[in-house]
Amino acid sequence: MAPNLSISGHDLLLTWLEPAGGKEGHRLRFARLAGGRWSAPVTVVEGRDFFANWADFPAAIQSPDGSLVVHWLAKTGADTYAYAIDLARSTDGGATWSRAGRLHGDTVPAEHGFVSWLPEKDGVRAFWLDGRAVPGGGAMSLRTGLVRQGSGRGERLLDDRVCDCCQTDAALAAGGPVVAYRDRSDKEVRDISVIRRTAGGWSQPVRVHADDWSIPGCPVNGPAIAASGRNVAVAWFTAAPPDPRVQVAFSRDGGATFGKPVLVDGDQPLGRVDLALGPDGDALVSWQAYAEKGAAVLLRRVTPAGRRGETLTVAATSPARASGFPRMARLGDRLFLAWVEDGTPSRIRVASLPTPPTPPPPTPAARPRL
């Protein structure tokens, strides 16, 4: 369960969870795709204290010094949602790993998770949802911190009231890091916001689009973001009236403002989106949708001008929570998608396919004859 993809130079990194040591045990596994071949899977860590969740998945990130950092979730108390974010580090390309402590400084037995990562000059930056204020009557918050040589430091609060269990995602634009997440107003409107780091510090949250989705609980359906220079794209799911839909919006100023969203899918989507940018700034959006037999992993290319390519079916899957969230990464002119294949036992699949072609421009209207 819980596959995830990241890029390390010209290689692809894959992490996932699998059972180990009995009913309640799990192990975090790692493999590298280099030169078209997968390495033998390596166990990063295993134990009986994992918080193994279909929607909150581990990830690997390469630091500027070449070392790798991974995170996973570990139980810290008897409450169902009492867990922390633990770290491990590898200095030999992922062949061996050593524990590196905890991402956050607090020890409150509350929810901590939904981590996204970005490389920085001095280490790797993490963004996560932090529930340390919840036991005292507060709300879930969004925080960030820098990890150097496997150790977390320099935590900062970015938003003190956010949706409880939607994934975060982050991208590095020309002006600095941009994090996307599902916000939460005091009236339970849960739309997608972004926060940027600028020369003046961290910005205030900016809503990508006013969907005005009012929902009393978390939909467990976070956004995806990608950036190239000052071009930024955010894809997300909403069930705000009139219909559930997946949409994408573009920014040309590093995420400061966004244009009107483009509809990606309005025909029974489940959401669970991911996003990559093509070399020309087009959005490559993946998501799940209901299908005749269960569900499907879909892919579509959308231009900043609003042109939409053909919807491609990548694979069949299940709409159940156990199918998780398909993950996507782009290496050169190829896309890689990882997902959970339903069955007993379930399996992790990775597909490689060429980047879908650019959608053609609209056909000009015929000129009337006089």
Check if the beta carbon of residue 289 is closer than 8 Å to that of residue 267.
Answer: yes
Where exactly does CATH 2.120.10.10 map onto the chain?
1-130+144-152
By CB atoms closer than 10 A (0-12, 13-18, 19+), residue 20 is middle
pLDDT at residue 368 is higher than 60: no
CA angle 77–184–154, rounded 5-degree value: 60
Q: What is the mean pLDDT of residues 237-244?
A: 97
More confident position, 345 or 186: 186
Six token digits for residue 116:
């996204």
Identify the pLDDT of residue 71.
97
Task: Answer whether 146's CB lies under 8 Å from 153's CB.
Answer: yes
Q: What is the mean predicted confidence (pLDDT) over 251-266?
A: 97
Please state, for a pLDDT cut of 70, what percent of the chain lies above it.
97
Fold of 162-359: Tachylectin-2; Chain A (2.115.10)
Q: Between 3.40.50.150, 3.40.50.2300, 3.10.180.10, 2.120.10.10, what CATH number should domain 1-130+144-152 receive?
A: 2.120.10.10
Residue 284: which of 244, 259, 312, 256 has the closest Cα? Answer: 312
311: DSSP letter: P
Task: Kindly state the tokens that stand for 9.
Answer: 């130079």
Span 29-40, average pLDDT: 96
Q: Write out pLDDT tens, residues 316-339.
A: 999 999 889 999 999 988 999 999
Count CA within 13 A, CB hemisphere, residue 94. 27
Q: Would you place residue 204 in the very low, low, confident or very high pLDDT band (cuts 50, 70, 90)?
A: very high
Lowest mean pLDDT among 168-177, 184-193, 359-368: 359-368
Put simply, whether the predicted model's pTM sits higher than 0.85 gets the answer yes
Indicate the Cα dihedral angle 137, 143, 148, 154, nearest 10°: -80
Return the structure tokens found at 242: 């009139």
Mapping DSSP to helix (H, G, I), strand (E, B) and coil, where does residue 163 land?
coil
Does the N-terminal peptide bond of residue 244 adopt cis geometry, omega within 30 degrees of 0?
no
Mean pLDDT of the chain: 94
**349's tokens:** 């699949």
Domain with CATH 2.115.10.20 in the chain: 162-359
